[in-house]
Structure 1
Amino acid sequence: MKEVINFYGVEYRWLDVLDLCIVIFLIIQLYRLLKGSLAFNIFVGLLMVYAAYFLVRYLQMPILTNILQNFINVGIIAIIIIFQPEIRKFLLVLGKKTPLSKDSFFTKLFLPDKFKSYKEEENIINEIIVAVSRMQSTYTGALIVLATTYRVKFDSASSISIDGNVSAKLLESIFEKQSPLHDGAVIIVGNKILAAKVILPVSENPNLPTRIGLRHRSAVGITEHSDNLAIIVSEERGTVSYAMDGVLTQDVSLEDLKVKLYEVLIDGYS
């Protein structure tokens, strides 16, 4: 087997091709991660700074070269600080692609979870669907967050601890319009409603529709940097939406929502 590839008179090693493929893969993942966010604009700005540095160095402009050189010297540290949430999410995305991720063929084939009974998860799904259906029919606003792989971080000082089993009646009573808990989000971890009246971070994504309200922006915000599913019932229009990976999917049917819940809680996060 030849160790080099001849392309238009230029020889490349197989490792060079592999190196290029890995770089392309990382760039694609980075673009998918940052597109539609303010971080993407910051990333473009950093690229412009680097391009300006090489230009002024080529043109032999010493003052600008020294200034930009000093900026670039601390560039890696600045990138880690500025893009800390994006780096964490990028590593999370890469982790899902590994052979040991929970939705990989290897895991499903060899780990004992493939024989697991999902009665508890199916019960949770049915209770959520019943609650969402009733709140939709009564135009009751709601925001439900399901933590899928680790406990979602939130401000416990402003929330009310619940620690109750997931049930349609409990969810409905929390979001009932006269309830003191109806503002904010409900956090579900496993088979428990962990807390209510939770204040979530609001997304700053400029590409979100301008007509959406605070519930929808909070749903996107909590899923931008964590592995969660957020379900929203609109108080104004009585529609159902969900957010995952910072992407908002609006006006879904109850059947579509049920399919998504099965994907997240049973089939594995996808």
Structure 2
Amino acid sequence: MQEFFHLYGYRFNWLNTLDLTIVIILVIQLYRLLKGSLAFNIFVGLLMIYLVYFLVERLRMPILTTILQSFINVGLIAIIIIFQPEIRKFLLVLGKKAPLSKDSFFTKLFLPDKFKSYKEEENIINEVITAVGRMAGSRTGALIVVANTYRVKFDTASSILLDSNINAKLLESIFAKASPLHDGALIIVGNKILAAKVILPVSENPDLPHRIGLRHRSAVGITEHSDNIALIVSEERGTISYAQDGKLVQDISLEELKVKMYEVLVDG
């Protein structure tokens, strides 16, 4: 191993060791970010191309080296285009932990909890939990996206803008089977119901259970590239699930959902 690094002029000292450690950590985090998505297979393919390039360069194969070098020259642009959703997700996570965000050390230091009020968030949670519980009891299918920090981008042409207060009875009436708004998702931003009948991107994650329906796949899809949580009520079984960070958690209780919503809206 040391001969390999010396071959490329890499000498071990404390600074280079730190450099290598940081690179390894970044690669591990990148693996965790891409694992389970189609982008992971693309990443592995690109990595193999780079490894082949180093091999043919070492073996002094000029034609293949030239071809692969041309590919690598535009590789950065290709990576930005291909992994645009993953890069956006990484920046969202990074921005959420930024020095001036609400869960940073400096904010917690200068804005103690006693000066904060979560009455509005508690009201939102109670109204949503009440509606979800009733819809689960009546097996009324529902998909609710709660945006905490960032606004959700969606197709306004096919959706209905509401900008109304959050109320359990209103949520139930929107998803009632006779309602013209029951298809699609409902978007909550801040303390308002922003829109209903929203068409969301469907996740292409091959690791998702095959038996889940379009609501669950849409919930996972909207959370793969945004800082949101999506709540799902199954029309067939009356069960409750949620999606966050591209992960689906199924068959949870109302109390578990309430704890999760507190983590998202209050604890941040």
- Normalised to the residue count of structure 1, the TM-score between the two structures is 0.91
Partner of 2:48: 48
Partner of 1:86: 86
Q: CA RMSD in A?
A: 1.6
Q: Alpha-carbon deviations, 1:85-113, whole Å to 9, x = none?
A: 11111122233444433223332221367
Looking at structure 2, the residues matched to 94 and 117 of structure 1 have their Cα atoms a distance apart, in angstroms, of: 25
The alignment-based identity, stated in percent, is 81
Q: Structure 1 residues 98 and 151, CA, compared in 2 at 3 Å: closer, same or farther?
A: closer
Following TM superposition, by how much is the alpha carbon of 1:58 offset from its aligned partner in structure 2, in angstroms?
2.3
SS of aligned partner of 2:157? helix
SS of aligned partner of 1:102? coil
2:46 alignment partner AA: L
Partner of 2:132: 132
Partner of 1:258: 258
Give the count of matched residue pairs: 259
SS of aligned partner of 1:144? strand
Following TM superposition, by how much is the alpha carbon of 1:55 offset from its aligned partner in structure 2, in angstroms?
1.8
Q: Structure 1 residues 161 and 233, CA, compared in 2 at 3 Å: closer, same or farther?
A: same
Please list, as runs of the form range in 1=range in 2, the aligned pairs for 1:99-118 lying within 5 A after superposition.
Answer: 99-111=99-111, 115-118=115-118
Q: Which runs of 5+ in 1 are unaligned?
A: 1-9
Q: Which runs of 5+ in 2 are unaligned?
A: 1-9
Q: Contact conserved, 1:231 with 1:243, CA < 8 A, in 2?
A: yes
Partner of 1:26: 26
Q: Contact conserved, 1:39 with 1:83, CA < 8 A, in 2?
A: yes
Q: Alpha-carbon deviations, 1:124-170, whole Å to 9, x = none?
A: 10000000000000100000001111111000000001111011000
Looking at structure 1, the residues matched to 230 and 119 of structure 2 have their Cα atoms a distance apart, in angstroms, of: 22
Q: Alpha-carbon deviations, 1:171-195, whole Å to 9, x = none?
A: 0000001111000000001110000
Looking at structure 2, the residues matched to 17 and 57 of structure 1 have their Cα atoms a distance apart, in angstroms, of: 26
Partner of 1:16: 16
Looking at structure 1, the residues matched to 25 and 58 of structure 2 have their Cα atoms a distance apart, in angstroms, of: 30
SS of aligned partner of 2:260? helix
Looking at structure 2, the residues matched to 15 and 167 of structure 1 have their Cα atoms a distance apart, in angstroms, of: 57
Q: Contact conserved, 1:159 with 1:198, CA < 8 A, in 2?
A: yes
1:210 corresponds to 2:210: yes
Partner of 1:4: none
SS of aligned partner of 2:53? helix
Partner of 2:7: none
